Amino acid sequence: MNRNAFRVPTTQPGSRMPQYSPQQLPTTPGADVSARLSDSAGQIIAQGADQQARQLEMLGRGMQQAAKAGYDLYHDYQATKAKEAWLTYKQEATTKRAELGRMQGKDAIDPEKGITAQMAAWRAERRQALMKDLGGPAASMFDTAAKDIDSSMDAWAIDKVNTERLNYENKTSEAHISLLQDEAMTLAANPALFGQKMDALEGELKAIAGRSGLDETWVKAKFQDIQQKTLTQTISDSIAGEQLGKANAMIKAYAPMLGGAAEGLRARAAAKGRELQARARAEAERAEADANKRALDSFLTDTAGMSSEEQLATAKSRFGDNQKMYVAALDAVAFRDGAAKNIKNKEQEIRLNAQADKIAEIATLPPQESLTKFNEFSASMPVEDRKKAYEMYDNAVKATGPDARGTDYPGAKEEVLSRMATGEEFNVWTEYGGLLSPRTLKELSDKHVRDALPGIKNDFKLRAMEFLGEEKNKDLAETALGGKSINALFAVYYDSLSQEDRRNPVAMREKTDRFFTSTLLDSGRWHMRDKSVPMGLQPRYLEKKPGWFPKKGQPEYDAITTWLKGEGIKPEGAAGKYTDEQRAQAYKIMLEAQR
């Protein structure tokens, strides 16, 4: 602020009071006394006049001092009013400057509504409002002091507008650069069109540099950076969008512009290619699995209620040329039948448990009365429950005292003989152990084994002939099985059977099938013409060598894969394959389920 604007002037306006200057009248030389008296009188008169004049002068000075004091009071009042107006104007100017400082971009530089226009309008309005109540001197002093504020605000406004204009123009160029980048990305497959967009983009960078005082080096560095990022993003998007042909073509065309990023993009494109191949394989396998599942579902629906022979024939006719599907069909049938059997057994268990107390009560009666009473009681049961019921009764009798079973269960012996007459092979001990006396049980079991043994030997002979038909197996027969002749092999086979197996034709026939394959699996070789063997053909091998599982080429290998996929287990190996640990664990579970 100009402090002189409010200083009181050193001279007052208007005229001063006149000051009297007395005149000295000299005496006339040679004059007489009267003349001198006359002069004295004149001097007296003159002195009186001088005194009167001095008094008038003093009065004039007093009046002048009074006038000066009044003027000073008036001037101080005007100066105070001017200061008050100036302070108000200064405070309002500060507020207005803060308000205008929030304006940015296009709004700030608008010639009609921007900072400059609003400041001019505000200044004219506020000056007029503040000066209307000021007197002439105060208005003059306020106007002089306010010019300093106006000058400061003008300097600020010029700098603010220039800054906002630069920012606005640069941001406009940056927005245009962004649009050009987007357009260039869509045209990157065409180098000519891409180059046009890049040229326009470089022009915008030069405009920014010119406004901001940047040199050509900045333009070049910025342009190369934007160009590389634009191409990198475009190619990355093509890779992510699985447009590998387009991506590889752009990498080749723009390699010099990509610099070090080119190698990384090539690696990403190659990785995406491998991913797509793996996905295609997985999709194909999934489609195959879905088709196989539909085929199996249809097979299970069509074979529901069929006999085992009919189910096998249907499976052979539908899947005979697809070993994997054939094995899966048999497994599915076994699982379905096993589930149905489990349900049936559970229902039987519930029925028998409901009769347990009654059976235990009958077992406490005298032996003959107890047996008669039980026969009457069991006659009302479903036929399939009677064997289990007799086992419960037999156990209850043994727990309460001497054996009450002096005779065979009515009809049990006849049923065994009837089944044997049809050529059916079954385990007499396990199925009728609770219905026959020990003597009858041994008699019938021995007879059943004697009747079945010729057929079992014949099957063994056929199997051995097939086995020895392969030259490579002859040495193996001697080293691993103990002989080359069929009789010698049968002797080894029979010695390998347990006592329980020897009285069970079903187990003997099953062990016949397993005898050769188990031995060869143990030796790690297999030369049979027919490599199709039942699932779980050697469960003992897994017990001896944990972690073993059938290798690729054996039917069980594909069956394991089918089981893993059916259980929804995800492969943990490379390239989406199941690991050896997964296959070994699956094989173990499948063997346990089969047992």
Each residue's pLDDT expressed in tens, for the chain with a length of 595 residues: 555 555 544 444 444 445 545 555 555 555 454 444 455 555 655 665 666 666 666 655 655 555 455 555 666 777 887 788 888 888 888 998 898 888 887 888 888 888 988 888 998 888 878 788 777 787 878 888 788 888 888 899 898 888 888 888 888 888 989 999 898 888 888 898 998 989 999 998 999 998 888 899 999 999 989 988 898 999 999 999 888 898 899 988 888 888 888 889 889 899 989 989 998 999 898 898 888 888 888 888 888 878 777 887 888 888 877 888 888 888 887 777 777 777 888 888 888 888 888 888 887 887 778 778 888 888 888 888 888 888 888 788 776 644 445 567 778 888 889 888 888 888 888 888 767 877 888 889 999 899 988 888 888 888 778 777 777 677 666 665 555 677 877 888 888 888 888 888 888 888 877 777 665 444 444 433 333 333 333 444 444 455 667 777 666 777 888 888 877 788 888 777 888 888 888 887 777 666 5
Please state whether the predicted TM-score (pTM) of the whole model is above 0.85.
no
User: Which of 36, 559, 581 lies closest to 330 in space, CA to CA?
Assistant: 559
Query: Is 172 among the domain residues?
Result: no
Q: What is the CA radius of gyration of the chain?
A: 62
| Residue 153 and residue 193 in one domain | no
Which tokens belong to 279?
Answer: 């996905």
Query: Is 307 among the domain residues?
Result: no
- What's the CA gap between 431 and 425, in Å, rounded? 12
What pLDDT does 542 receive?
Answer: 43
What pLDDT does 566 receive?
Answer: 78
Query: Is 147 among the domain residues?
Result: yes
Domain boundary among 523, 550, 581: 523
Residues 378/389, Cβ–Cβ less than 8 Å: yes
| Residue 151 and residue 195 in one domain | no
| Residue 511 and residue 566 in one domain | no
Query: Is 334 among the domain residues?
Result: no
| Residue 274 and residue 204 in one domain | yes
Query: Is 247 among the domain residues?
Result: yes
Domain boundary among 132, 164, 196: 164
Using CA atoms, how far residue 357 sits from 105, 321, 345, 347, 351, in Å, is 98, 55, 20, 18, 12
| Residue 159 and residue 232 in one domain | no
C-beta atoms surrounding 480 within 10 Å = 15
| Residue 574 lies in domain | 531-595
Domain boundary among 506, 523, 540: 523
What residues contact 224, with CB distance under 8 A and at least 6 apart? 257
- What's the CA gap between 318 and 314, in Å, rounded? 6
Query: Is 408 among the domain residues?
Result: no
| Residue 138 and residue 11 in one domain | yes
| Residue 160 and residue 215 in one domain | no
Residues 325/319, Cβ–Cβ less than 8 Å: yes
Vertex 211: Cα angle to 210 and 216 (nearest 5) = 25
Domain count, the chain: 4
Query: Is 143 among the domain residues?
Result: yes
| Residue 207 and residue 241 in one domain | yes
- What's the CA gap between 388 and 352, in Å, rounded? 8
Output phi, psi for 351, to 5 deg.
-65, -45
- What's the CA gap between 206 and 195, in Å, rounded? 17
| Residue 544 and residue 497 in one domain | no
| Residue 141 and residue 204 in one domain | no
| Residue 556 and residue 462 in one domain | no
| Residue 100 and residue 13 in one domain | yes
Query: Is 536 among the domain residues?
Result: yes
